[in-house]
Amino acid sequence: MDYEKNQILTVEITDMTSEGEGVGKQDGFPFFVKDAIIGDKAQIRVTRVKKNYAYGRLEKVLTPSPFRVEPRCAFHKQCGGCQIQSMSYEKQLEFKTSKVRNNLIRIGGFAPDMVDRVMEPIVGMEEPFYYRNKAQYPVGQNKEGEPVTGFYAGRTHSIVANTECHLGVKENKEILEIILAYMRENRVSAYDESTGEGLIRHVLIRKGFFSGEIMVCLVVNLRGKRKELPAQQRLIDALLTIPNMTSVSLNINTEKTNVILGQETRPVWGKDTIEDTIHVCDAEKHFERTGRGITYAISPVSFYQVNPVQTEKLYSLALSYAGLTGEETVWDLYCGIGTISLFLAEKAKRVYGVEVIPQAVENARENAAGNGISNAEFFVGKAEEVLPEKYEKDGISADVIVVDPPRKGCDAACLDTILKMAPRRVVYVSCDSATLARDLKALCGGGYEVERVRAVDMFPMTVGVEVVVMLSHKNPIA
Ligand code: SAH
């Protein structure tokens, strides 16, 4: 049968894509339906027809799926930040588990029974809301000319007003209301993307979950000789009514760009950074906090994991999978500000971190010093360049290599060098199970075998999932 645009159909949603769209079939022909949940019987409107599949818009849920729950956020469909908020949390965890499993089988080429043998239960959250320690809100104007903040609707750049995102901390709303009131009362303009005029572009808020410290950074279009915002002291005074306010700064961005942060950050009140502490837990014992805490200094521009409750578990799992005894030389590739490296350092003889962003490496060194860690050394550069160079020229070896690459996974040259160095173990931390599966296939083709796999839910309500994998060399040299 031929389908056409705007046609109304009834479909049973029997599957989900990895991006969280529902999949329903009619006579074997698949329809992808955003906001539909596996188990729904739904009325859809066909929006786009391709040769082998089509897209539909959810018009009405005829019979709700048993996994459907009332979403907390009134804007979840418009915002698109939480693709699966109307799915029960338990079902979300199941969805993420099968996403990882399917990628290992389809892309990695691993046998289903082998995958089922090595996969451990996903690590979920007890409270899957209010977990983010960082919020970034765009500031604009509504039709009445009043300042608003919220989120960009869909893929557009128009702002839907909403100061209450349920993934962020409760202080965000209060802070945003203070900033909006300050703007109204002092006639401070919002930045207008189309003209490049106006002052306030974004509000960045960070909270140290362990320290309680709060940081506010306003991204502003301050030009020329102007060093301050109008009535800046009033804004600072109002922000200081928030308990634990620790750092207020301005980030100057005068470029016509959708990159949020500019080059220069000026502190205007308090410290330049906030602190947070992550504790070493026992991953084999329900993540009980057993080890020391490692404290990190975080600036407005630092990369820092957004879910500290789960980060602690993720890093502890990586540490456990590394199986260190105190004698090992360990490499931590894609180390960022040294978060995983410092976790490993206490249990290893020596840790080498590699990271491409110089500023992050500087932070990593400061964090090592601040925690009294002297057996970690950091190199600036690409993993695929630094590792071969250190191995081939300087003869540095590795007992264990940990990698935590960005979504695109590891470079082939990096994987080749790992195979040449043949460490006893490789621990792969991944935020994209598709590229993970591809890279595992390469490592397993070169003498490794996958021993343990565990997903960690770092981003509840969204389709993202983090995975940690332990690989062992089949014929270790020593
Ligand atoms: N392990 C850290 C950071 C992980 S994010 C943490 O958990 O906090 C991935 C990091 O890889 C980023 O900091 C990014 O800057 C860095 N990166 C990206 N490409 C790289 C490359 N080719 N070589 C080394 N680092 C790279």
Q: 397 C-alpha to center of ligand 1: Å?
A: 21
Q: Which helix (H) or strand (E) holds 421?
A: helix 412-421
Residues 6+ apart with CB under 8 A from 140: 147, 148, 149, 158, 159, 190, 191, 192, 193
Q: What is the pLDDT of residue 1?
A: 67
Unique residue bearing structure tokens 């540490």: 319
| pLDDT for position 77 | 87
Is the model more confident about 94 or about 226?
94
Q: What percent of the chain has pLDDT over 70?
A: 99
Which residue reads 């060098």 in tokens? Answer: 417
CA-closest candidate to residue 168, choices 461, 454, 408: 461
pLDDT at site 79: 87
Ligand 1 atom closest to residue 311's alpha carbon, by position in its atom list: 7
Q: Which of 299, 331, 335 to mutate to test the pocket of ligand 1 (most atoms within 8 A of CB)?
A: 335
Name 394's Cβ contacts closer than 8 Å, sequence gap at least 6: none
Nearest CA to ligand 1 atom 10: 334
Averaged pLDDT for residues 237-241: 98
Is the separation of the CB atoms in 220 and 253 below 8 Å?
yes
Q: What is the share, in percent, of the chain residues with pLDDT greater than 90?
A: 91
The model's confidence at residue 291, banded by pLDDT at 50, 70 and 90, is: confident
Candidates 319, 334, 362: which one to mutate for ligand 1, based on the most atoms within 8 Å of Cβ?
334
The catalytic position among 165, 281, 410, 431 is 431
For residue 188, give the amino acid letter: V
Q: Kindly state the average pLDDT of the residues 385-394.
A: 95
Q: Which residues contact 2 (CB under 8 A, 6 or more apart)?
A: none
Ligand 1 mean position to 405 CA, how many Å?
Answer: 5
Give one word for 39, left, alpha or beta, with left for phi > 0 and alpha for psi -120 to 50.
Answer: left
pLDDT band at 478 (very low <50, low <70, confident <90, very high): low
Query: What is the atom index within ligand 1 of the atom nearest the CA of 383?
Result: 23
**Residues near ligand 1 with C-beta < 6 Å?**
303, 305, 334-336, 339-340, 354-357, 360, 382-384, 404, 406
CB-CB neighbours of 430 under 10 Å: 26
d(CA 246, CA 309) in angstroms, rounded, equals 21
Q: Residue 197: its pLDDT value, please?
A: 94
Q: Tens of pLDDT along 42-62?
A: 999 999 999 999 999 999 999
- Cα separation, 14 vs 375, in Å, equals 52
Mean pLDDT, residues 240-244:
98
Look at residues 325, 411, 335, 416 and name the one whose alpha carbon lies nearest to residue 376.
335
Question: What are the E-state strand segments in 67-133?
Answer: 119-123
Distance of CA 315 to the CA centre of its chain: 14
pTM, 2 dp? 0.94
431 catalytically annotated: yes
Angle between helix axes 232-239 and 171-185 (nearest 10 degrees) is 160
Tokens at 362, concatenated: 């500087």
